[in-house]
A and B are shown apart, each in its own frame.
Chain A
Amino acid sequence: MPTMSVIEAIRDALQLEMARDERVVVLGQDVGALGGVFRASQGLFERFGERRVVDMPLSEGMIVSSALGLALSGLVPVAEVQFMGFTRQAFHQLTVQAARYRFRSRGRFTASLTIRSPFGGGARMPDLHADAIEAQHANAPGLKVVMPACPYDAKGMLLSAIRDPDPVLFCEPLRGYRGWREEVPEGDYTVPFGQARTVREGSDITLVAWSAAVHLAERAADRLAEEGVRCTVLDLRTLVPLDVEGLVRAVSATGRCLVVHEAPLTAGFGAEVVATIQEEAFYSLDAPIARVAAPDTPYPPGTLEDTFLPNEERVCRAARSILAA
Chain B
Amino acid sequence: MTSEVSAQFPVGAEGPNPVRVLAPDGALVEGAAPSMETSEIEEAMRLMVLSRAVDERAVGLQRQGRLGAYSPVIGQEASVTGSAMALDPARDWVVPQYRELPAYLHQGLPLERLFLQWTGHVEGGHIPDSVRMLPIQISIAAQIPQAAGLAWGLRLQGLDAVVVVYFGEGASSEGDFHEGMGIAGVTRAPVIFFLQNNQYAISTPRHSQSAAPSLAARGPGYGMPGHVVDGNDLLAVNAVTQAAVARARAGEGPTLIESQTYRMGPHNTSDNPARYEDPELRARWAALDPIDRVERYLVRVAGWDQSRRSELEGWAREEVERAHRVAMELGGNRPEYLFEHVYADPPERLLRERGRRLGGD
Q: Which residues of A contact B (CB under 8 A)?
A: 25, 51, 56-57, 59, 61-62, 65-75, 92-93, 96-97, 101-110, 141-142, 144, 164-166, 194, 240-242, 244-245
**Is A70 in contact with B349, judged by CB distance below 8 angstroms?**
no
Q: 17 additional contacts, CB 8 Å, given A62-B145, A108-B129, A194-B347?
A: A59-B182, A66-B152, A66-B183, A68-B145, A68-B146, A68-B149, A70-B150, A70-B153, A74-B153, A74-B157, A75-B156, A105-B125, A106-B125, A107-B340, A108-B128, A109-B127, A142-B343
Q: Mark B175-214, 1 if CB is under 8 A from A, else 0.
A: 1100110110010000000000000000000000000000
B344 at the A/B interface (Cβ < 8 Å)? Answer: yes
Whether the pair A69, B157 counts as a contact (CB closer than 8 A) is no
CB-CB < 8 A to A67: which residues of B? 149
Q: Is B275 an interface residue (CB 8 A)?
A: no
24 CB contacts below 8 A, A to B, read A57-B183, A59-B182, A62-B182, A65-B148, A65-B179, A66-B146, A66-B152, A69-B146, A69-B151, A71-B153, A72-B146, A72-B149, A72-B150, A73-B153, A73-B154, A73-B156, A92-B142, A105-B125, A105-B135, A106-B340, A107-B340, A108-B129, A166-B344, A244-B349
Q: Spell out B's residues near A (CB within 8 Å).
A: 122-123, 125-129, 134-135, 139, 142, 145-154, 156-157, 175-176, 179-180, 182-183, 186, 340-344, 347-349
Is the Cβ of A75 less than 8 Å from the Cβ of B347?
no
Residues of A within 8 A of B142 (CB): 65, 92-93, 96-97
Which of B139, B153, B343 meets A75, CB within 8 Å? B153
How far does the Cβ of B331 sit from chain A's closest Cβ, in whole Å? 15
Q: Which residues of chain B are near A245, meaning CB under 8 Å?
A: 348
Tell me which residues across on chain A come within 8 A of B139, comparing CB atoms: 92, 96-97
- Are A109 and B134 closer than 8 Å at their CB atoms? yes
| Residue of A with least CB distance to B153 | A73
CB distance A102 to B342 under 8 Å? yes
- CA–CA, A59 and B184, complex, Å: 13
A194, B348: Cβ atoms under 8 Å? yes
Partner of B157, one of A61, A71, A73, A144: A73
Given contact pairs A56-B183, A105-B126, A61 touches B175 in the complex (Cβ within 8 A): yes
Q: Is the CB of A102 within 8 A of B344?
A: yes
**Contact A69 B149, beta carbon cutoff 8 Å:** yes
Nearest B residue to A25 via CB reads: B156
Is the pair A244, B125 in contact by a Cβ cutoff of 8 Å?
no
The answer to whether A102 touches B343 (Cβ under 8 A) is yes
- Indicate which residue in A56, A105, A165, A242 contacts B347 across the interface (CB closer than 8 Å): A242
Given contacts A65-B145, A66-B152, A73-B149, contact A166 B180 (CB under 8 A): no
B150 touches A73 (CB 8 A): yes
Nearest A residue to B175 via CB reads: A61
Q: Which residue of B lies closest to A98 (CB)?
A: B146
For the complex formed, measure the closest distance between the CB of B144 and the CB atoms of chain A, giving whole angstroms.
8
Contact yes or no, B127 A70, CB < 8 A:
no
Which residues of chain A have C-beta atoms less than 8 A from B150's C-beta? 69-70, 72-73
Q: Which residues of A contact B341 (CB under 8 A)?
A: 102-103, 105-107
Residues of chain B lying within 8 A (CB to CB) of residue A70: 149-150, 152-153, 156
Kindly identify which residue among A51, A65, A71, A97 contacts B180, using a CB–CB cutoff of 8 Å.
Answer: A65
Taking CB atoms, residues of chain B closer than 8 Å to A101 are 135
Residues of B within 8 A of A240 (CB): 347
The CA-CA distance from A87 to B58 in the complex, in Å, is 40
Contact between chains at B343 and A59 (CB < 8 Å): no
Once bound together, how far apart are the Cα atoms of A1 and B113, in whole Å?
Answer: 56
Most chain B beta-carbon neighbours within 10 Å: one of A57, A71, A72, A244: A72
A69–B127 CB distance below 8 A? no
* A59-B152 in contact (CB<8A): no
Set of chain A residues within 8 Å of B127, measured between Cβ atoms: 105, 108-109
Residue among A62, A66, A68, A245 having the largest count of chain B Cβ atoms under 10 Å: A66
Complex Cα–Cα for A126 and B156 (A): 37
Cross-chain contact of A104 among B125, B152, B344 (Cβ < 8 A): B125
Q: Which residue of B lies closest to A68 (CB)?
A: B146
Chain B residue with the shortest CB-CB distance to A99? B342
Identify which of B129, B340, B349 gathers the most chain A CB atoms within 10 Å of its CB. Answer: B349
State how many angstroms separate the Cβ of A185 from the closest Cβ of chain B.
Answer: 25
Residue on B with the closest CB to A66?
Answer: B149
A95 to chain B, nearest CB (A): 12
Is B179 a contact partner of A110 (Cβ separation < 8 A)? no
A88 to B153, CA, bound (A): 24
Residues of chain B lying within 8 A (CB to CB) of residue A56:
183
Q: What's the Cα separation between A96 and B146 when bound, in Å?
A: 13
CB within 8 A of B344: which of A61, A75, A96, A110?
A110
Partner of A241, one of B151, B153, B348: B348
Chain B neighbourhood of A25, CB < 8 A: 156
- List residues of chain B with CB within 8 A of the CB of A57: 182-183, 186
Q: A65-B149, A73-B149, A104-B125 are in contact. Are A241 and B186 (CB under 8 A)?
A: no
Contact partner of A69 (CB less than 8 A), chosen from B148, B175, B347, is B148
| With A57-B182, A62-B183, A93-B145: A104-B176 Cβ-Cβ less than 8 Å | no
Distance of A86 Cα from B331 Cα, bound (Å): 44
Q: Do A61 and B348 contact each other (CB < 8 Å), given the known contacts A102-B343, A142-B343? A: no
**Contact A61 B347, beta carbon cutoff 8 Å:** no
- Residues A75 and B157 in contact, CB atoms below 8 Å apart: yes
Nearest-Cβ distance from residue B192 to partner chain A, whole angstroms:
14
Kindly provide the distance from the CB of B35 to the nearest chain A CB, expressed in whole angstroms: 28
Q: What is the CB-to-nearest-CB distance from B294 to chain A, in angstroms, rounded to a whole number?
A: 33
Chain A's closest residue to B349 (CB) is A244
B342 touches A103 (CB 8 A): yes
B334 to chain A, nearest CB (A): 13
Q: Are B342 and A51 in contact (CB under 8 A)?
A: no
* A-B residue pairs, 5 tightest by C-beta: A69-B149, A73-B153, A241-B347, A65-B145, A106-B126
**Which A residues are CB-close (under 8 A) to B347?**
194, 240-242
Are A104 and B186 neighbours in the complex by a CB distance under 8 Å? no
